[in-house]
Amino acid sequence: MRTLIAACAAALALSPAPALAWGKTGHRVVAQIADAHLSGKARAAVKRVLGTETMAEASNWPDFMKSDPSPFWQNTASAWHYVTIPAGKSYDQVGAPPEGDAITALDRFSATLRDRKATAEDRRMALRFIIHIAGDLAQPLHNGNGTDRGGNDMKVTWFGKPTNLHSVWDSLLIDDEQLSFTELATWLNARITPAEVKAWSSPDPAVWMADSVTVRDQLYPPAADAALSYRYVYDNTPRLERQLEKGGLRLAAYLNRQFG
């Protein structure tokens, strides 16, 4: 058994890293903030669909299912976690690739939630994906520029250890906070002002993407192989926290409209 586990670990180490967004903590923070801003009607609808499962618990399910070996998860669903928007373009100008992307998936699963004939299982899957995709689109590098796989090809060091820019924004920067997802969500939600709620609560994914692209272009260090450490944390932690706050508010707005 130990030999099998070691062989599997070696194979995983040689495989390309999956393009996750925020990691588990960030997705849960977005979902937890969203939960605090649901309308009564939306909250009841979410409860009917998810049952005892919380939005924070549901938020990472699509990433967990990436390990399912079935063709659906390995092929069909793999493109549903990101969009590609080259510099100087909008999503409306470039559209989705043939295999689809986060926006086509969001449309698909929103239609499932509206379909009165959809099964309870299909509706649960749809809501889990909507929660997850809203978090993905709040991560700036999941709105990729089409040149570096959302920062995966941008090699950097993080406090002396080799990694890439995507991994920094997936988990390393947020993990530097050393907070649980409930602590971070509570702190961030308490800081959101009424003016920010009004400004950031757009249910329109086109607005989310345009905003994330603007932030994306501010995240890149001046050169590849840059040594990122305390100064990068200082400069970018406020950006990361705003994206988590925006993601939560926008997910809530989307669900409030969906169930309105």
Confidence of residue 260 (pLDDT cuts 50, 70, 90): confident
The dihedrals phi and psi of 233, each to the nearest 5 degrees, come to: -60, -45
Q: Is the pLDDT of residue 7 over 80?
A: no
d(CA 180, CA 53): 19
The pLDDT mean for the chain works out to: 91
d(CA 214, CA 111): 29
Residue type, position 60, single letter: N
Confidence of residue 223 (pLDDT cuts 50, 70, 90): confident
CA distances from 89 to 86, 94, 97, 140, 141 (A): 6, 7, 15, 15, 15
Q: What is the pLDDT of residues 57-74, one digit of tens each?
A: 999 999 999 999 999 999
Buried b (16+ CB within 10 A) or exposed e, 213-233: bebbeebbeeeeebebeeebb
Q: What is the pLDDT of residues 154-212, one digit of tens each?
A: 999 999 999 999 999 999 999 999 999 999 999 999 999 999 999 999 999 999 999 99
DSSP conformation class of 68: -
Whole-structure pTM value: 0.90
Cα angle 203-132-219, degrees, rounded to a multiple of 5: 80
CB 105 within 8 A of CB 142: no
CB 118 within 8 A of CB 126: yes
- Side-chain-side CA neighbours of 194 within 13 Å: the count stands at 0
Q: Where are the domains of the chain?
A: 20-258
CATH of 20-258, one of 3.90.550.10, 1.10.575.10, 1.10.540.10, 1.10.1370.30: 1.10.575.10
Percent of the chain with pLDDT over 70: 92
Annotate 202-232 with DSSP letters as a single string. ---HHHHHHHHHHHHTTS--SSTTEEESHHH
